[in-house]
Structure 1
Amino acid sequence: MLHRRELVHDWPADPTPHLSFAQFERAVLDFDRHLATRGLLLLYHTVFRFLETSVAPRYEPLFLVDPLSLEPSRRYDRNDRRVLEPREERFALFRKTS
């Protein structure tokens, strides 16, 4: 499970008691291993930045989440630090390219 209510609603300074970027990335790596080239990966309710995972360069972003909202999204980076993700980086759907 890559969605934790506590991280979305409370946005604690330290997410690791609930879920860490390392755990998120391990799950994403597992998805990647089973996904064929040109396959679709949907990551809609997550607070970690997929674009910072080691497999992100093999994916093409396809769909922005809430593209009309100008507000940045509250996320965590690969170092488990809180960051505000700009609207233009808020993707939820990706196509595997290689």
Structure 2
Amino acid sequence: MKLLLFHYCGNVGIDQYDKTVMLDFRTSTFGMAYDYGSIMHYGLTYFSTNGQNTISLKKSTTARIPNRSGMSDLDVQKRPKQPMNAKMLSQLKLLLHLQNPQLHL
């Protein structure tokens, strides 16, 4: 994914001090299918100020978005591929517990 940050300034000669920056983000599904049912997936209207969708799906899915009931099968499969330290694991467990106290981790 590429993100273009555009900055406009009306001062003459400002381009010697200012510039547009291109950021290059690397994303990965670790060679697996995209996981609409991931516990990490944002809800379709998250960050919306008017209640409209901020995410549009490229494919239809039966997955519940957002899934807050637990890790999907693909989340579990991807987990060993992502290095996670003790602090990250602790924070994830706390987050999951706060979202669903019935989960046993």
TM-score by length of 2: 0.22
TM-score by length of 1: 0.23
